[in-house]
């Protein structure tokens, strides 16, 4: 695969990471994706191929709780998504996960989701 764009680079890193990272029933994978305007998080069991919990800045339920100045494209929105995914995971009995940054640098909004999820009680 030739790297022609930034997205090609990210996908290549993502595939390299995915060789080592796998979600099990005991410890599912917390996958984070960010676009320019929104951020998405999923807790995935790779053995059964199911999504156990999800949260995103697009959801009307989560969007309605945002304060003024909070969007999916900024740090505060990423923190809100991190707290929501942690709460939904804990409601399903999931406390330990494997963090998958999906080829993005562990910086900015990706880090904000991870830190907020840790503060809300997820272990990784």
Please list the residues that pair with 29 across neighbouring strands: 44, 98
Which H helix or E strand runs over 10? helix 6-20
User: Is 1 a member of any domain?
Assistant: no
For the stretch 8-41, pLDDT in tens is 999 999 999 999 999 988 999 999 999 999 999 9
> Domain for residue 18, yes or no?
yes
Express each pLDDT in 65-119 by its tens digit: 888 888 888 999 999 999 999 999 999 999 999 999 999 999 999 999 999 999 9
Q: Is residue 111 part of a domain?
A: yes
Q: How many domains are contained in the chain?
A: 1
Cα dihedral 73, 78, 84, 88, rounded to 10, equals 100
pTM score above 0.85? yes
55 domain residue, yes or no: yes
Question: What span, in angstroms and rounded, lies between the C-alpha atoms of 3 and 104?
Answer: 15
Does 124 map to a domain?
no
49 lies in some domain: yes
33: domain CATH number is 3.30.420.100
Range of the domain at 77: 6-119
């Amino acid at each position: 695969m030739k790297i022609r764009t930034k997205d090609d680079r990210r996908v290549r890193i993502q595939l390299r990471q995915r060789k080592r990272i796998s979600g099990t029933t005991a410890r599912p994978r917390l996958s984070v994706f960010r676009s320019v305007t929104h951020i998405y998080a999923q807790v995935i069991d790779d053995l059964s191929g199911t999504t156990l919990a999800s949260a995103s800045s697009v959801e009307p339920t989560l969007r309605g709780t945002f304060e003024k100045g909070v969007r999916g494209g900024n740090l505060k929105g990423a923190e809100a998504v991190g707290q929501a995914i942690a709460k939904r995971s804990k409601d399903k009995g999931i406390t330990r996960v494997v963090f998958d940054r999906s080829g993005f640098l562990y910086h900015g909004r990706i880090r904000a989701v991870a830190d907020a999820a840790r503060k809300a009680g997820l272990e990784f």
